[in-house]
A and B are shown apart, each in its own frame.
Chain A
């Protein structure tokens, strides 16, 4: 087990977040579950040492809905047998009693209710509860600690991510851990396993050093003044375009907290440099002379100005595409840091090399990902899709029985019911589940990029348009299997990209992939088979039918075994083609799948597309002409 307390930079960072309540929202990229728990425990102890009182821990996951988080009417276990408004995590009463440590093991996979709650609460001075007869407003007292896979950063809403004041990276945290004397001895993996299996090692709770406790207890009593120099230095670290005020403010607060932690009376430029170094920030502009500003600014003058309008600018606002990639001369941070180091020892950092990856992350998230999904059902089977919440109903379809009973219980006395008479229900008591979108149809493309000429990109993409249009109208889910993608992680393997609708940006990116060298067609067909099996047969949320569109010349030159092992033994032979046809036969056996092969009309081995279509039981069409061949037949079971 690693001892995170030996990372001095990390301890400083968590201590600052304990000292300043505006810094109590931290995202850690790539933190494993156990690592996140340990960070939470260290932070909790620092908060307690800082005098914040009892800290209650909660974890948000993939399934909570609004009632789970904000409370609802429940049946209690008490003697009176009546109903009770059940408090949950977010309530004024809990907030008054405890400081809440809320951990999120994976920010990209929490439920929509969790995401929306985080949006309402993080960095907000006031929380509002207006649900299920409950009403309240209070000042939230919460610490948020979330893990987010760096590779999935494009799936997150920047609107949510912006609310997190501090960004750390697990790999940088681990790098900064000092080796313990015991670990410096040579140990074999076998002896390390033995140590790990000892119960006291597994259950050992992290305890922060007593020195840290005392340090933070002293720091809490201190107030640090901001200097003009410090203020000016903060401005050097933030890009003017695009400008996000929270980043600048977070850096300033962090620098103030760092000075407080270090026992200083004032926050100056050196503290800002040190804070920026810890956070992985680099200055964007040359340092300017500090302006002579008052310590506490006066309020804006009134009446005589009557809100003069700002000068008109050319644009209507910053365009979304602007990423602030201006050529700006960078100033080395090290120079300022060395001066600082002379006085105060600066632990190694940074704790995150790329604190704001969302600025250049690929756009992979769903459009309007923070909204409640539209309900759109084309079939009579509406009781599908993940349950998001409960809503009033005027039908008996998809009833939520417990919620309906609880709704009726409120009025039993008024309705004159006496025990043990049965409950009296009225139509207004009916409640149903509000469900997320369930995929009822699937459009699956298998795109063999090596089989189409680069010059013909427009042609083959046009051939896909009718299917995309149909998928859009039907609100179908979509998957794209990429065969022979130049940017595949392993060129011997196909890859799959899936989304709930064709409007998701990563689908467009997947269509525009470039041609690689290898054609793992058999592997691509295998992925198609698995996907179809899953969506048509697995679980409650099965789709009604699927459309598989294949663009390939049938010349798979990578055997399936090579794709599975990731290594190619010897030269490629016909094995790849044979494997592809075998897998195609398996797809043919699936029900409720309509399959079309779009023939790129290769110059060589012209019979292969037809062979592939026959194995798939597919209709064969030419790209561009969209004509049915005489041999091909439409296969819809």
Chain B
């Protein structure tokens, strides 16, 4: 029995049709229009909003669950939750910063053009054109066609470079090195904040009070640690 044939109509009804209906809603048609127009401000804003929602909700859930997770030892629970909290906050801030800098397409293009200017500048382009035109199939290619193709090729290279830059700088260095490095000491302060309303455990009423707070002061001489002896006196 082919399982995929059985599950296909279920997936289509449970997932496919809702996706189809969602794509026809006003909200998604509006968003699609902005993407077609390449409205970078809107696309950037949507990206940032997604980061804040995902990481914000994730941070809230992780912190809440860590604080209430009795299976984590009590002496470590607050620190675990505190690190989740600082990690979440810093991750959101770092991703927004990366979004506007290293992961920003315009910034990536600028960095790419600076690093590879000699490979894609006018003189290099003229050189490539001269070499390529020597091939039979490209003899009739006009300067305009070549330039348009070269600009598109330049953009593709810049895009690939941008993806790699984002991966190394943003994903690895920023999010996995800088964020945990700063989040860990900040977690100490966050832990104190989470512990600020902690009350003392207190004592059972049946426990003997060997430290008299209000009554007679016990005659305890220095280095005399036998309290029973002192109490009997």
Co-complex (A, B): no
Chain B residues packing against A (C-beta within 8 Å): none
Chain A residues packing against B (C-beta within 8 Å): none
